[in-house]
Homo-oligomer: A and B are copies of this chain.
Amino acid sequence: MKIPPVKGTRDFYPQDMARRNWIIDGWKKVSVRNGFEEYDGPIFEYLKMFQIKSGDEIVEQLFSFQDRGGRDLALRPEITPTLARMVNQQINSLPKPIKWFSVPRLFRAERPQKGRLREFFQWNIDIISEDDVLADAEIIFTTIDYLQEVGLSSKDVKVKMSSRKLLVAVLKNIGIPESKHDVLYTVLDKKSKIPPETFRDVLDEQVKDSEKAAKIEAFMELDSITKVEKMFSHDDEVVMANDELAEVRHHLDQMGVADYCVFDPSIVRGLAYYTGVVFEVHDVVGDLRAICGGGRYDNLLHDFGGPQVPATGMGMGDCVLEILLEKKGLIDKNLPEKRLDYFVATVDKPINIETVDGIVKKTEKDIVIQLTANLRLAGYSAAFSYKSGGLGKQLKEASEQKAKKCIIIGDEFKENKLAVKDMETGKQVLVDYDKFLSDLMS
């Protein structure tokens, strides 16, 4: 019975797994050097937990099911709700600030598209209980540290930054009532994803006053904080939000990564829960979805039944990232080379070996097996051939596996000697078998 894999999922054959591990190991390495500690939660949680942050619409994008006790559960589409739950559970005992990262596997019941699968990995970094915008800068810096690590320069990708506070201040200044804001976030967030006419239609639907709509559009086109300040110079709230963005920018400047960063007021992030700096990373060519997004969310822990605690974070999926890295030719050349420490070969003849108990007939295969096992127990990667080919074939197999050294059990073994061949220099030396073994064990 032949059964196919489920659409939108991936099989990771060893060569695919090597790529996945390289991406995830990079995320982990950069997180650790930036002072984040790893956490994880369950793959499934109570369904209602995912509705708190993202509303009822999220339910359609969830793989949900009931357990035998009739509880409504769902595969996690994101890890932030779990993060909020876990931090709330131990809020008083956790050292502050909480700097945590995770690389969860996530699930969305969507129609698979380019860069969007039903099962994917996402790097998450979060700083909780710190309201200084330095934390926002550190989140953005850590993101850039990774991009730089894998070879994506400021010519390849840009961090587009804005501020939800700024947007709120601007909308209020233009005269949009706060009750309308949440709906507008979703609309404005679509600007770069839909044709300009469609965007205008959707905006007009929400903002009937065409002068106000035009002002919103004009704001979203501004390409510097200075221009925003000019447009809304007498509004203290706008000025304050601008100053905050300028401070983040100053930190990023100090950090040496300002060339990656641009101000872009069209960055909104659809969800209502953002409260301060927001950002997305896009490829400069611009034909892909956002590589990642994040921002400040000071109310989320409270929404999950905890105290009011400031927080800021970022999430980066592996699908769009991998497409971009592939396009730039940055994966294959960066994959760590897989090398074998020792390949153990034999010239294929049985050998009589004297032991303390008398004459025991051992085959060369026995020695190959013994030696390979001892090398492995001592921590070396070691292999032998299951095939019964001659020495030439075995040496070829050793080369294919990129062995650093090849040990040959040959005629010299009668004198208890192994031939150890350096596969790079081709040099071969004879070593005493017992000494070799005892050196391994020490």
Name A257's closest neighbour in chain B (CB-CB).
Answer: B373
User: Which residues from chain B contact A374 at a C-beta distance below 8 Å?
Assistant: 256
When the two chains form their complex, are residues A44 and B9 in contact, meaning their CB atoms are under 8 A apart?
Answer: yes
Contact with B along A140-173 (1 / 0, CB 8 A): 0110010010000000000000000000000000
A73 to B45, CA, bound (A): 18
When the two chains form their complex, are residues A42 and B386 in contact, meaning their CB atoms are under 8 A apart?
Answer: no
Interface flag for A262 (CB, 8 Å) = no
Interface flag for A85 (CB, 8 Å) = yes
Interface flag for A207 (CB, 8 Å) = no
User: Which residues from chain B contact A40 at a C-beta distance below 8 Å?
Assistant: 12, 17, 20
Task: Give the number of times this chain occurs in the complex, counting copies.
Answer: 2
> Which of the residues B119, B141, B303, B340 comes within 8 Å of A43, measured between beta carbons?
B119
| Min distance, Cβ A195 to any Cβ of chain B, angstroms | 27
When the two chains form their complex, are residues B386 and A35 in contact, meaning their CB atoms are under 8 A apart?
Answer: no
A420 to B285, CA, bound (A): 43
> Which of the residues B3, B44, B145, B380 comes within 8 Å of A45, measured between beta carbons?
B3
Given known A134-B369, A381-B35, contact A46–B3 (CB-CB < 8 A): yes
When the two chains form their complex, are residues B45 and A5 in contact, meaning their CB atoms are under 8 A apart?
Answer: yes
Interface size on A, residues (CB 8 A): 87
When the two chains form their complex, are residues B33 and A3 in contact, meaning their CB atoms are under 8 A apart?
Answer: no
Name A437's closest neighbour in chain B (CB-CB).
Answer: B256
A161 to B255, CA, bound (A): 59
User: Which residues from chain B contact A263 at a C-beta distance below 8 Å?
Assistant: none
When the two chains form their complex, are residues A379 and B33 in contact, meaning their CB atoms are under 8 A apart?
Answer: yes
User: Which residues from chain B contact A48 at a C-beta distance below 8 Å?
Assistant: 1, 3
A107 to B43, CA, bound (A): 9
Name A84's closest neighbour in chain B (CB-CB).
Answer: B3
A280 to B112, CA, bound (A): 41
Interface flag for A21 (CB, 8 Å) = yes
User: Which residues from chain B contact A107 at a C-beta distance below 8 Å?
Assistant: 43
Interface flag for A88 (CB, 8 Å) = yes
Interface flag for A135 (CB, 8 Å) = yes
Given known A42-B11, A63-B65, contact A370–B3 (CB-CB < 8 A): no
Interface flag for A123 (CB, 8 Å) = no
> Which of the residues B97, B304, B383 comes within 8 Å of A35, measured between beta carbons?
B383
When the two chains form their complex, are residues A6 and B42 in contact, meaning their CB atoms are under 8 A apart?
Answer: yes
| Min distance, Cβ A55 to any Cβ of chain B, angstroms | 13
> Which of the residues B12, B135, B303 comes within 8 Å of A386, measured between beta carbons?
B135
User: Which residues from chain B contact A215 at a C-beta distance below 8 Å?
Assistant: none
Interface flag for A49 (CB, 8 Å) = yes
A379 to B14, CA, bound (A): 28
Given known A11-B89, A145-B376, A377-B145, contact A3–B369 (CB-CB < 8 A): no
Q: Which residues of A from 354 to 385 have beta carbons under 8 Å from B?
A: 366, 369-370, 373-374, 376-377, 379-383
Interface flag for A204 (CB, 8 Å) = no
For the complex with contacts A1-B52, A5-B45, A6-B71, 5 further pairs of A-B residues with Cβ separation under 8 Å are A11-B86, A17-B40, A43-B105, A65-B65, A255-B373
A-B contact pairs, 24 of them (CB 8 A): A1-B52, A3-B85, A3-B304, A4-B46, A5-B45, A6-B46, A6-B73, A9-B45, A11-B86, A13-B90, A17-B37, A18-B38, A21-B38, A32-B381, A33-B376, A33-B379, A35-B382, A43-B43, A43-B107, A105-B105, A130-B386, A135-B386, A254-B373, A257-B373
